Amino acid sequence: MPLLTILIILIVAGVLLWAVNNYIPMDSKIKRILNIVVVIVVIGWLLKIFGVFEYLRDIQF
């Protein structure tokens, strides 16, 4: 996946999260949980894109 595509997806995800935080009235606890979930999903997606999960799967204990 090209780096420009990854950058565009990250920008779109950030803008959507910002819009949800600013324009949809929610309790602050729900917003915090939503922010944490989105950050974890984005980090997991980036790790998958860059092949970190495949590297960790090959490690034997």
Average pLDDT over residues 7-17: 95
The tokens of 56 are what? 């960790």
- Residue 59 covered by a domain: yes
- In the prediction, which pLDDT does 14 show? 95
Cα 11 from Cα 17, distance rounded (Å): 10
pLDDT band at residue 1 using 50, 70 and 90 as cut-offs: confident
In a domain? residue 33: yes
5, containing H or E segment? helix 3-23
The domain of 42 spans: 25-61
Q: Residue 17 — very low, low, confident or very high, per pLDDT cuts 50/70/90?
A: very high
What is the reported pLDDT for 59? 74
Please answer whether residues 31 and 21 qualify as being in contact, where contact means their C-beta atoms are separated by less than 8 angstroms: yes
pTM: 0.79
Which regions of 1-61 does DSSP assign to beta strands (E)? none
User: Which sign does the torsion angle of CA 35, 37, 59, 6 carry?
Assistant: negative
Locus of tokens 């999903």? 41
Q: For the chain, how many structural domains are there in total? A: 1
